Chain A
Amino acid sequence: MVAEGVSAPPKLRLHDVTVTFRARHGALVPAIERLSLDVADREIVSIVGPSGCGKSTLLRLVAGLVRPSSGEIRLDGHVVAEPGADRGMVFQSYTLFPWLTVQGNVEFGPRLRGMPDRHCRDVASRFIQIVGLAGFERAYPKELSGGMMQRVAIARALANDPEVLLMDEPCGALDAQTRVFMQELLLDIWETTPKTILFVTHDIDEALFLGDRVYVMTARPGRLRDEVVLALPCPRTLEVETSEAFLAAKRRVLAMIREEAQRTTPEPSRLRA
């Protein structure tokens, strides 16, 4: 699971990417600056960072929803220029289509490609089963809780069989219990259908629990600080989570975040002045 030797070409490569937005008054807002990142096939890379540091922008870049101002993104060596079904995304907010049932949402991707009805139904019911929502096929999103909606969104992304899965704080709006359940669900799913996953979160434990590698992202403009490699066995049981290696990794991540916070927040004395 850990990144292989230097010779293996990465599944996903971001090379020296900069994104600058033009704000309303014409001012330039640098959201991401000179960011490079390689992700190996079937690897899970977590990215932690404070809100507003450019995490969503990073994922939208890979999805092809945002164009880099400079630099390039390559998937399997091909430059990413626009959105495509090979890069699925689970968004931070609830993005289910309210006019479609759970079934309709999950089979949205296969239907777009004109798959036969039978195939769409089978794929949908398989992934609805996997995320534990069997029996809710005919429910509309307005009848579901937040956690259920986010599970449908994950099933919808998976049913489209993307090569890379981009997850933007998918558990961010959920309560602690639901979040733990979702994290375990994600690892379970990964074991049956391994994907290359870029997972963004502001929760350190979540990043460590899910990732093969963890990056800390700096406050605006977003850059990646040193990586933390977790050479930990999978599945990540409670034992692994409380192991010395896990805690050491957590210490390193926390230290980096603390450094970042000190770098970006003004001195207390200046605040008082």
Chain B
Amino acid sequence: MRRPGRRYVSLARTGPIARRPRGPLSEVLRPQEAIPRRTYLRILTASAAALVAVWCVLTYGRLVAPLFLPSPTAVLAAGVAMAQDGTLLQHAQASLLVIVSGWALAVLAGVPVGVLMGSFKAVEALIEPVVDFVRYLPVSALIPLLILYIGIGPAEKIAVIFIGTFFQLVLLVADVAAHVPHEQLDVAYTLGASRGQVIRRVLLPATLPGVMDTLRITMGWAWTYLVVAELVSADRGLGFMILDSMRGLFTDRIFVGLAVIGGLGLCFDLLFKWLHRVLLPWSPKA
């Protein structure tokens, strides 16, 4: 639609697309392409620095009231004070004890059940109705019932984490076991393996990388359940600490709590990734 009186400049005369000069951005933004590790780390650092910079501008520039967003120095000071008087350690210990025991119990029970469910159709039919029903129940909805049954001590929180983790874990592990390549079992049979040998020497080792991933993922979810449980009823723990700080309007302490939870979560994630590399060096994901 060329209107009279206007001049159109053709932009299509710059040659084939492939010869267009490529900026550094287009080099970095190719789908699924690896980028140099240096570039990766630079972007990572820049992103973290930008986050801190925004925080500094908002707080030191007095754009947000300290009641809503305390400054980095205030949070740091609160953290140091809480570390020194021992409250931080006490709350972190309480939370860690609950999360690790609830999660470990769920793993001990859930991994075998999941492997059985994924490998044997009969077991799947047996437990699928229960698992599929319970996994759509938010654990938070069960907390009142658990308090009624168990009370408000650590045992109740362990139960919350166990229930929250167990059913998800069973389904994830079942999926892992069901996706072990059938031909790996077949080849073992043709090498003379009995059914028991196929299970022990092929099926179980074949599930290890997937199970390892599942452990890492469910540990992440366990933190959510922990904080929910501690917000509802607790006298210690990081979730309780956050709630208690809110009552006294100590926003800086809330941020200390968030930072500790995030930091611990990150540590667990790195720990699992490291374990995967060390324990399963053969895994394609290692």
Whether the pair A95, B181 counts as a contact (CB closer than 8 A) is yes
* A108 lies within 8 A of chain B by Cβ: yes
* B188 lies within 8 A of chain A by Cβ: yes
Whether the pair B206, A87 counts as a contact (CB closer than 8 A) is no
Query: For B197, what are the chain A residues with a Cβ–Cβ distance below 8 Å?
Result: 112
Query: For A84, what are the chain B residues with a Cβ–Cβ distance below 8 Å?
Result: 190, 192
Whether the pair A88, B206 counts as a contact (CB closer than 8 A) is no
Query: For A118, what are the chain B residues with a Cβ–Cβ distance below 8 Å?
Result: none
- The verdict on A95 contacting B191 (CB below 8 Å), with A112-B201, A142-B282, A142-B284 known, is no
Name the contact of A88 in the complex, choosing from B184, B191, B201 (C-beta under 8 A): B191
* B128 lies within 8 A of chain A by Cβ: no
Query: For B202, what are the chain A residues with a Cβ–Cβ distance below 8 Å?
Result: 97
Name the contact of A85 in the complex, choosing from B183, B186, B192 (C-beta under 8 A): B192
Q: Which A residues from 19 to 71 make CB contacts under 8 A with B?
A: 60, 63-65
Which bracket fits the contact residues of B? 20 to 34
Q: Which B residues from 148 to 195 make CB contacts under 8 A with A?
A: 181, 183-184, 186-193
Whether the pair A108, B191 counts as a contact (CB closer than 8 A) is yes
* B208 lies within 8 A of chain A by Cβ: yes
Q: Which A residues from 161 to 179 make CB contacts under 8 A with B?
A: 166
State A166–B189 Cα separation when bound (angstroms).
Answer: 13
State A85–B197 Cα separation when bound (angstroms).
Answer: 13
Whether the pair A91, B183 counts as a contact (CB closer than 8 A) is yes
Q: Output the residue of B184, B187, B190 with the most chain A CB within 10 A.
A: B190
Whether the pair B191, A112 counts as a contact (CB closer than 8 A) is yes
| Chain B residue at minimum C-beta to C-beta distance from A60 | B186
Q: Which A residues from 101 to 129 make CB contacts under 8 A with B?
A: 101, 108-109, 112-113
* A89 lies within 8 A of chain B by Cβ: yes
* A93 lies within 8 A of chain B by Cβ: yes
Q: 12 A-B pairs, CB-CB below 8 angstroms?
A: A60-B186, A65-B186, A83-B186, A83-B190, A89-B186, A97-B202, A98-B206, A109-B192, A112-B193, A112-B197, A140-B282, A142-B282
